[in-house]
Structure 1
């Protein structure tokens, strides 16, 4: 079976970028090994006022340390850090954006969580999503799975018993499916979002929502449909972050024939104004995202 490195060697990626991708991908092994000893909450909050799981902090510190020592990366924007972490003496000229542990509230109940990563050339972390060189996520479920695009299709790899990523699926396309899931408090949804969810239900949609963006999107990638975290009353900017979550996942969706929107525009065309750039997110099958934007225009 083709390994991750064999796949990368068949792409147009430069050697240093291939090495960086592999370095990040294989951090899934120590992160997964750290689950048992990092079950609790850390008693601290991240810069956004959200309670941190112990593994949030562990994964964040671990990945930043590994990337800093590598010399590949000039900047890291992490969901767990208030500011961009800079390595001005790095030989490489890449910037990494990441949510080191997405869905960490699910650790104690042993549901799937993941790591979301985007890589930019040019050493600047605050770029448009459409300018990503690489988008990837590691999903820690029954298998440890890596889903990746280098701008030429979407591929999924699974970690085997020899701790090597081997090809599982290639050239993935999101079908026009009927799964849907929405975050937020229902009685705080805006009218356009209410209308869209009602439309999903009327069309025979099936609700799927776990609280892990990575895990829920992986279902959409496989079966089709839409993942949503909308704007709400008093929270027009929504909850999720464009830089760490929206852009990498959206880039993968678009490479798989899908789309991502804030309800009115393609999120991949938005220039982030700061690391904590929040946005409503709708991501999934292309025709479903078109339905979202149609509903939003009416509210």
Structure 2
């Protein structure tokens, strides 16, 4: 069980940086490991999704690299039922291969990491760092710490700073998941308004969809569905880290009622609706959500 670290601990900055330096260092091997591993296995992850061979390989590589870091106490993966005890220190949540269903069509995938000061499951307010990798034409990483977010290009496992990430004031794009035949009526009305103002950009991987919002401004949502009131995305592994990053970049994230960072964490694999982007677009979300 990981030991909670005080937010003022002098080692926190080092630990967070070590985590993302380690993820960056692993990216060449992670990219190579996709080759020949796009097929399904007979296994399911704790959320009931069929695992691909690449899902399992990414998880094995990352737990091996991150679990050996000094100051990492717990490694929790979207692909594992229970966290791995690594010693004493911070708790990591990892979506090793976000958007893995995109591998079949050879579209964008990525990796999402949250660094929590506390035992899991934890509130998003316990995050002390978060980031994601996009395995696109180039490999990029967005990393947030406190009130700052930075985009890097990752070349041969080394991070090269590209720019501070600040959400543009003039939004351009939107992406909504779940299928409009499953949307609740209140969100459908909101979606119709947004469609008349912004350009549709939806790729089916959270890392890619949020990455476009951070670059161009706009809104991404995987809303409450008629058949799934609790939403689809995982609070600990996907929603909290993305909310932390959006906040650092000047945006916001909500479950339709409150900030994602204020959602009570009851279970490790808990799901939630997610709406992220420019604050003014999120303020227009209907109260009925």
TM-score, normalising length from structure 2? Answer: 0.91
Task: Summarize deviations over 1:116-174 as a string: whole Å, max 9, x none.
Answer: 0010224x1322213211110011001100100111311000023x5421011124234
Partner of residue 93, structure 2? 97
Contact 2:153–2:161 under 8 Å retained in 1: yes
**Stretches of structure 2 lacking an aligned partner (at least 5 in a row):** 1-9
Partner of residue 4, structure 2? none
Partner of residue 19, structure 2? 20
1:198 equivalent in alignment to 2:192: yes
- Which residue among 176, 180, 187 is the counterpart of 1:186? 180
**Stretches of structure 1 lacking an aligned partner (at least 5 in a row):** 1-10
Separation in 1 of the partners of 2:162 and 2:12? 21
Partner of residue 221, structure 2? 228
> Which of 106-115 and 220-229 deviates more?
106-115
CA drift of 1:289 comes to 0.8
1:260 equivalent in alignment to 2:253: yes
Secondary structure of the 1:37 match is coil
- Which residue among 133, 139, 148 is the counterpart of 2:128? 133
Contact 1:126–1:271 under 8 Å retained in 2: no
Task: Summarize deviations over 1:78-125 as a string: whole Å, max 9, x none.
Answer: 1111122223xx2x4110011110000111322111000010224x13
- Which residue among 142, 148, 157 is the counterpart of 2:152? 157
Separation in 2 of the partners of 1:171 and 1:200? 23
> Which of 265-274 and 37-46 deviates more?
37-46
CA 1:93–1:232 in structure 2 vs 1: closer, same or farther (change >3 Å)? same
CA drift of 1:280 comes to 0.5
How many residue pairs were aligned? Answer: 280
TM-score, normalising length from structure 1? Answer: 0.88
1:43 equivalent in alignment to 2:42: yes
Pairwise CA RMSD = 1.8
